[in-house]
Structure 1
Amino acid sequence: MLDPVERSHPLQDSPRKRSRTSKSMEPPESPTNSWIAIEPPASGPRPPQAQDPYTPPPTNPPPSLYPPTFGEAQFDIVLRRQRTRPIGGGGLKLTAIPSRFLNLSNDFEFSGWGTVSHLDLAPDDLGRGEETLQGIRRSRVLGQFMASALAGNDILGGVFYTLPAVVGVASVYSPISLLVAALTLFLWRPVMEELGSALPISGAPYTYLLNVSSKSLALVGAALLLLDFAATAVVSAATAATYLAGEVSLPFPPFVGAILVLVIFTLISLSGLKESARIAFAVLALHGVTMMVLLTASAVHWGRHGNSRLKDNWIAGQASSAPRIATQIFYGVCIGMLGLTGFECTPAYTASIKQGRYPLVLRNLHLSAMFLNVITMLFVFAVLPLDVIVNGANLLSVLAEVAAGRWLRTWAVVDAVVVLCGGVLTGILSACELLERLAHDRVLPAAFLKSLPLTGSPHVAIISFVVFSGVLYASSGASLAIMSKMFSLVWLTVMMLFPLSALLLKFNRGRLPRTSVTSLSVIFFTIAVALAISVGNIVIDPTTVGYFAIYFIAIIILFSACQNKGLFVRLFYWAYDQSPVMQTWSWTRPWSERLAKLMRRMRRQPVCILCKTDEINHLFQMVLYVRQNEETACLKLVHFYDEDEGLPSEMEANWKILDEAFPEMTVDLILVKSTFSPVNVAALAHRLQIPRSLMFMSCPGPNFLHSVADFGTRIICL
């Protein structure tokens, strides 16, 4: 049970619990400097013992002539604060600071006094904690090939819409551009490996930024991720519809087919179908077999007809000057990054990958994408004439027909539709996981966590995301070219978040254990490369940045409004307070009380800080983080302690200072006599009914025995 304890003042405790500050600042016992004489006014007679300022005072000086010691002064201050603090907590911590509300009450801005409690974890709590920890460990079931399949469908399926886009800007230099684009991932792989070893948690890069920086910067990452998932779904659906329109006569335009694909997979998602590793592996296996047959047929055709086609295309597509060649290759690299989209999805399920397999997954995806994109583009120029390549949209289906016949073209189209539709489903499900995570972190309303009773699918998140994707596609004029260019820019921006997270990880969480370390030069060079390629995409089509900026700003405003909804309600309350005329209207009089109740209700969710030390500066920084990043009026300071070592000497005294320093929050101190471990933290979360995503801790050191992924908490300080 929670056992409330209120002590009269900390100085009456045992010597072990006395304040270190008090002992260090007490005056020495030497009779020569124990007291300092106070000089009386000049008009009065001077006492004989005070004529020489260095003469020691008498042994028992009159108390009125000398100030109290620091210990005596602290004793009086603590007693005065104890008299003003309610014994059982509660009451409002009102202050004398003037209010910004001139006509209405500001009582909603204050909370009650906190209490100190001792807590013993019950066997039921420990059982639930062990069950939670075992569930986390059981989820790490993906080997390198199954884990590669989840993101592999996006990466390897990008060949269908990447090749035509690259040919449009790089012409015959497209294979070179694709090779250079694929080589850039050698910069990102060590950066992502370090992040994955230090923070093996899902939801990256949003969760990376959430643990190494502020919540505001993490929301920027979440906005970019949401835009990336929407572009993935739209481009995959539009490309699938385009491939169908190129093979059969559809009774509607291709953009209608893209919308139908989105609607169909919305219904599939609402039916409760979840993408599993086995399904993804089966789809990827089909795609792999199809591409191997296509490449084999193309190689045989190339061997039979020789290099004449390749030479003719090279001569016809040559640029007029060396700068023009460099420009075309660079533009091809910028657009060729589309062929690597999906690589950013791998950290999103890091927690499900077996230990030590994450670097292998990155290697598999990287090398397979590099091989498939470059070799396929080379076969395109060796088999097809240049005018067909430049003007054709379904390059792979045309390549299949020329290399082997109509049967292979049909097979390639079926494979394209299946793989691309799998990309649509991946975008929807990934976005739903992100939206649910944001709802757990109290950024989005709790309605995004609601699910249908029969299928268990998060219908609010699914419908909201698909509507957003449809608006995104419609605003581009249903243009696949514009969406592909914007997709490339969004992907580059998301990929830029990884070196930025690594940089913040080194600076803000340098103590965090990790098995892989990347040099600062690699991180800065990766950021520079990402910036250069992003600028290249903007130069190719300046309108692309317009679409990107509009939707990015719109999502940021939406997330910021949801994150700071209490601030907007307070602004309405202030506007009502500043309008005496509105307060005279009968239909607006209940507004003040309703707004105040709304603000109290939004701040009711408790937040927990797991504190290791009693140092006031450290505790203050952690409480300040909660104040700046979370809307709550209920804060729990929890300290796990060992009975042999006892409690830190100033924990309770400094807690009372924090409780007084933050009148807008009720700061409770909970002392748990147990070890600090993932099982006990999960048991505590069950006991206090606080989600582990709202439990914060400081950065563990290199000798920490547990993985931060097992705790499920947020790291908020060094």
Structure 2
Amino acid sequence: MLKNDGHETKERDEDERAPPIPEENWIAVMPPRNSALEPPKLAEQSERTGSGNPPSFSQSQFDVILRRQRVRPSNGFALKQTNVPSRFLNLSNDIEFSGWGSFVRIQLSEEDYEAGQKTVRAREDEKVLGQFTASALAGNAVLGSVFYALPAVVGVASIYSPISLFIATLTLFLWRPIMEELGSAFPLQGAPYSYVLNVSSKPLALLSASLLLLDFASTSVVSAATAASYLAGELATTNSGSLPLPEWTVTVIILVLFMLVSLTGIKESAKVALCVLSFHILTMTALIIISSIHLAHIRTSQMAANWSLGARSDSSSTGVARQVFRGFCLGMLGLTGFECTPAYLSRIKPGRLPLVLRNLHYPAVILNCTLMTLVLGIIPLEEILGGTNVLSVLGDRAGGRWLRIWITVDAIVVLCGGVLTGILSSTELISQLSLDHVLPTGFRKLLPVTKAPWVSITSFCAFSAVVYLSAAPVGGNGGNEGKALAVVSQMFSLTWLTVMSLFPLSLLLLRYNRHRLPRSPHTRLSVVFVCLAVCAVVAAGNVWIEPKIGGYFAAYLLVILLLFSASQNKTHLLRFAYWTFDQYPVLHRLRWTRGWGEKLIGMMRRVRKRPVGVLVKSDEINHLFQMILYVRNNEETSCVKLIHFVDGEAGIPSELEANAKILDEAFPEITIDLVIVVGSQVGSGGAPAFSPTNIAALSNRLGIPTCLMFMSCPGPRFEWGVAELGTRIVSL
């Protein structure tokens, strides 16, 4: 009894020494979760504590409460303290610590709700592309590739070119279900960068963005330079003389011209692309019909002569297999542009993506294989290998001079349409990178009338021009211009293959990390691995054919990746500058460098002040920890807002506030605020639902873009899609 009295006295003395805790800071701490603990027992325990008094020491584990609720400044802006030594010997380590987090309850007002509705309507109004206009944007690049793919394939596959092209075009049957499944899961702009960002880490997503930007630039440059080269070649074979301007100048003029077309807006640009593609399909149809009639007239004499000449080089089974394989590797050039379709997926109407992919695939099979067969059946092999514009020669032999002029005009027009494809696809990617704080927000500036992102368009066209002009010295020497086109074309083939490998890789990561995400159709896992194997084999084959393209590809990719990495890791660069300044104490005493340390700290804080939101449903600390860890490793920010929408029935999870404070202490470099969105007039039953409108309204209230609001992977019974919410998935 004396022992009990002593214990009670000690407990009473400790309570008297402890600072009083205001009633508004009381939190209810539930006992450890145990499936054997029935709800009636919990209710009885709550009744014993009383409604107006705090729980006793034995009931509430008061020492745990004190540890979780440290005395913090009321404004929440004081630095967190630590006993860990600083890495800086001569300067302050204030940059290592952020302010204390806060607990906020907010209500969405009618103004917030109206802003959210406006955002959701604008997101729906962006879906302006049907199956034909969406097909036209990428179709000019896909179907226009016959003008530069056919001569390249003949150069390595000779008479076996139709077989190589047929095998190459059939491979798209492997990619189409993969692209459809990814598109149904993530109908977002900037794909496959957006795919990788939602299923993996941001560094890997930046690598995919670098590949995509290089691919889009190659699409525009190769199309523009090939159009200029095609025009120069046609003028050289006639009495018209030559181009009045160097080919590189004409290439730059084409880029500028279609930059102006892109500034009219994506909807109008899609209509222009549809007109161009319709003209190209009409031209190719006329060429196939007229050439087939001519082939029926001359029968198989030229085909037999070409076969006899081509078989002399190497008629062994190994030699034939080698030629077919090399033609298959280069035959992938006939499919370039197919990867551009998902880049503007957010603007395609729902359910149209499978139709768009079908509209691009089947014409590519027919045009490549049929035209290649007609070329070998009508034109002598020596003339084909001579580097002439083979489709113009085919039109001349089959229909005469008028058809050759028609083919030349069509070649220039449709290749220019490929320039438009690259520009518009890159615009969607750059816009998404700007929203994700990889690129400055200025890239999203719009023209007042057409709403075209003029900074993104002009910057990309300037970058494409630099890629072309840096490929080889320019000037009056046509050889230099031809070298520039050859370098970019060779790099294009390898770039395209690496971009196409991102689709099966993204689906593989989705299956592993986000398998709960609803999507359709479901591609067999074996198809995914076959696609990856095809990419690896064909990429190795292209390097085997021309080893130097690996060096060009790596050089351009490294430059883009360094630029993206520097923009994404500004804090790390500033921290390195701060550390360097710390190593030289003499600089701290000079008058003109004395305040550099404070300036660098201020710059780092300004870079990291932009908040991100983490949408949470439960209070499980392991789940909260993983999401905060993702933010720390992938985003440049020192302000994280844990956001919980109150469910009218369940209420706030019991340990959410306490666990938020634990995480606020565990991450000293991040301020973790807990934001509870409570009932308001905009929600059903007095509580706002977790819906696209209310998330957009909260985004307007907090000033956080929805793409910087992170959530866990939804299940198959979840009501909303990822594109409707506009959020990023960062955990299972």
Per the alignment, residue 331 of structure 2 pairs with 336
Per the alignment, residue 532 of structure 2 pairs with 527
Note if contact 1:166-1:335 (Cα within 8 Å) is conserved in structure 2.
yes
Note if contact 2:189-2:432 (Cα within 8 Å) is conserved in structure 1.
no
Q: Map of 1:375-414 to 2, 5 A cutoff?
A: 375-414=370-409
SS in structure 2 opposite 1:447? Answer: helix
Does residue 135 of the first structure (1) align with residue 122 of the second (2)?
yes
Deviations 1:432-461 (A, max 9, x none): 322222111111223323456787654443
Deviations 1:91-143 (A, max 9, x none): 11121211111111121332211111111111121122122222222333433
Note if contact 1:269-1:457 (Cα within 8 Å) is conserved in structure 2.
yes
Per the alignment, residue 708 of structure 2 pairs with 694
Most deviating of 265-274 and 137-146: 265-274
Per the alignment, residue 553 of structure 1 pairs with 558
Name the amino acid aligned to 2:655: E
Q: Residue 302 and residue 608 in structure 1: after superposition, are their counterparts in 2 closer, same or farther (change >3 A)?
A: same
Residue 71 of structure 1: how far off its partner (Å): 5.5
Calculate the aligned-residue CA RMSD, in Å. Answer: 2.3
Q: Residue 475 and residue 88 in structure 1: after superposition, are their counterparts in 2 closer, same or farther (change >3 A)?
A: closer
Per the alignment, residue 142 of structure 2 pairs with 155
Note if contact 1:149-1:280 (Cα within 8 Å) is conserved in structure 2.
yes
Q: Residue 81 and residue 184 in structure 1: after superposition, are their counterparts in 2 closer, same or farther (change >3 A)?
A: closer
Per the alignment, residue 293 of structure 2 pairs with 300
% identity of equivalent residues: 57
Per the alignment, residue 19 of structure 1 pairs with 30
Does residue 237 of the first structure (1) align with residue 229 of the second (2)?
no
Residue 575 of structure 1: how far off its partner (Å): 0.6
SS in structure 2 opposite 1:587? Answer: coil
Does residue 246 of the first structure (1) align with residue 233 of the second (2)?
yes
Per the alignment, residue 63 of structure 1 pairs with none
Name the amino acid aligned to 1:21: P
Quote the Cα distance in structure 2 between the aligned partners of 1:107 and 1:338.
54
Q: Residue 631 and residue 537 in structure 1: after superposition, are their counterparts in 2 closer, same or farther (change >3 A)?
A: same
Q: Specify which of 304, 312, 332 is matched with residue 311 of structure 1.
A: 304
Per the alignment, residue 471 of structure 2 pairs with 476
Quote the Cα distance in structure 2 between the aligned partners of 1:139 and 1:634.
31
Residue 7 of structure 1: how far off its partner (Å): 7.8
Per the alignment, residue 373 of structure 1 pairs with 368
Quote the Cα distance in structure 2 between the aligned partners of 1:202 and 1:471.
25
Note if contact 1:22-1:70 (Cα within 8 Å) is conserved in structure 2.
no
Name the amino acid aligned to 2:195: Y
Does residue 715 of the first structure (1) align with residue 729 of the second (2)?
yes
Does residue 349 of the first structure (1) align with residue 311 of the second (2)?
no
Residue 165 of structure 1: how far off its partner (Å): 1.0
Note if contact 1:609-1:696 (Cα within 8 Å) is conserved in structure 2.
yes
Quote the Cα distance in structure 1 between the aligned partners of 2:61 and 2:33.
8
Per the alignment, residue 195 of structure 1 pairs with 182
Q: Residue 682 and residue 70 in structure 1: after superposition, are their counterparts in 2 closer, same or farther (change >3 A)?
A: same
Give the paired residue count.
668
Most deviating of 420-429 and 456-465: 456-465
Q: Residue 476 and residue 325 in structure 1: after superposition, are their counterparts in 2 closer, same or farther (change >3 A)?
A: farther
Residue 11 of structure 1: how far off its partner (Å): 10
Residue 427 of structure 1: how far off its partner (Å): 1.4
Does residue 642 of the first structure (1) align with residue 642 of the second (2)?
no
Quote the Cα distance in structure 1 between the aligned partners of 2:318 and 2:94.
69
Does residue 467 of the first structure (1) align with residue 462 of the second (2)?
yes
Note if contact 2:340-2:421 (Cα within 8 Å) is conserved in structure 1.
no
Per the alignment, residue 536 of structure 1 pairs with 541
Quote the Cα distance in structure 2 between the aligned partners of 1:7 and 1:568.
43
Most deviating of 637-646 and 347-356: 347-356
Per the alignment, residue 424 of structure 1 pairs with 419
Name the amino acid aligned to 1:379: L
Q: Residue 283 and residue 119 in structure 1: after superposition, are their counterparts in 2 closer, same or farther (change >3 A)?
A: same
Quote the Cα distance in structure 2 between the aligned partners of 1:623 and 1:9.
30
Does residue 228 of the first structure (1) align with residue 236 of the second (2)?
no
Per the alignment, residue 517 of structure 1 pairs with 522
Per the alignment, residue 104 of structure 1 pairs with 91
Note if contact 1:9-1:78 (Cα within 8 Å) is conserved in structure 2.
no
| Structure 2 runs not aligned, ≥5 long | 1-19, 38-55, 236-241, 473-480, 679-687
Quote the Cα distance in structure 1 between the aligned partners of 2:437 and 2:140.
32
Q: Residue 142 and residue 470 in structure 1: after superposition, are their counterparts in 2 closer, same or farther (change >3 A)?
A: closer
Quote the Cα distance in structure 1 between the aligned partners of 2:368 and 2:382.
20
Q: Residue 12 and residue 209 in structure 1: after superposition, are their counterparts in 2 closer, same or farther (change >3 A)?
A: same
Note if contact 1:187-1:526 (Cα within 8 Å) is conserved in structure 2.
yes
Deviations 1:684-715 (A, max 9, x none): 11111111111111100111111111011110
Q: Specify which of 654, 669, 672 is matched with residue 667 of structure 1.
A: 672
Residue 664 of structure 1: how far off its partner (Å): 1.2
Per the alignment, residue 690 of structure 2 pairs with 676
Deviations 1:629-672 (A, max 9, x none): 11111111100122222111111111111111111111111111
Q: Residue 9 and residue 529 in structure 1: after superposition, are their counterparts in 2 closer, same or farther (change >3 A)?
A: farther
Residue 73 of structure 1: how far off its partner (Å): 9.0
SS in structure 2 opposite 1:608? Answer: strand
Does residue 289 of the first structure (1) align with residue 294 of the second (2)?
no
Residue 335 of structure 1: how far off its partner (Å): 0.8
Q: Residue 204 and residue 541 in structure 1: after superposition, are their counterparts in 2 closer, same or farther (change >3 A)?
A: same
Name the amino acid aligned to 2:142: I
Does residue 614 of the first structure (1) align with residue 609 of the second (2)?
no
Residue 191 of structure 1: how far off its partner (Å): 1.1
Q: Specify which of 129, 134, 146 is matched with residue 133 of structure 2.
A: 146
Quote the Cα distance in structure 1 between the aligned partners of 2:697 and 2:68.
34
Quote the Cα distance in structure 1 between the aligned partners of 2:583 and 2:260.
49
SS in structure 1 opposite 2:99? Answer: coil
Name the amino acid aligned to 2:173: F
Per the alignment, residue 56 of structure 1 pairs with none
SS in structure 2 opposite 1:203? Answer: coil
Name the amino acid aligned to 2:293: V
Per the alignment, residue 166 of structure 2 pairs with 179
Q: Residue 7 and residue 227 in structure 1: after superposition, are their counterparts in 2 closer, same or farther (change >3 A)?
A: farther
Quote the Cα distance in structure 1 between the aligned partners of 2:21 and 2:524.
52
Per the alignment, residue 260 of structure 1 pairs with 253
Quote the Cα distance in structure 1 between the aligned partners of 2:572 and 2:651.
41
Per the alignment, residue 581 of structure 1 pairs with 586
Quote the Cα distance in structure 2 between the aligned partners of 1:625 and 1:85.
26
SS in structure 1 opposite 2:592? Answer: helix
Does residue 704 of the first structure (1) align with residue 715 of the second (2)?
no
Note if contact 2:138-2:418 (Cα within 8 Å) is conserved in structure 1.
no
Does residue 323 of the first structure (1) align with residue 318 of the second (2)?
yes
Name the amino acid aligned to 1:700: P
Residue 464 of structure 1: how far off its partner (Å): 3.2
Q: Residue 491 and residue 22 in structure 1: after superposition, are their counterparts in 2 closer, same or farther (change >3 A)?
A: closer
Name the amino acid aligned to 1:179: F
SS in structure 2 opposite 1:586? Answer: coil
Q: Specify which of 567, 575, 597 is matched with residue 562 of structure 1.
A: 567
Quote the Cα distance in structure 2 between the aligned partners of 1:713 and 1:212.
13
SS in structure 2 opposite 1:317? Answer: helix
Note if contact 1:20-1:649 (Cα within 8 Å) is conserved in structure 2.
no
Per the alignment, residue 631 of structure 1 pairs with 636
Per the alignment, residue 57 of structure 1 pairs with none
Quote the Cα distance in structure 2 between the aligned partners of 1:276 and 1:471.
24
Q: Residue 703 and residue 71 in structure 1: after superposition, are their counterparts in 2 closer, same or farther (change >3 A)?
A: farther
Most deviating of 609-618 and 643-652: 643-652
Q: Specify which of 267, 271, 275 is matched with residue 278 of structure 1.
A: 271
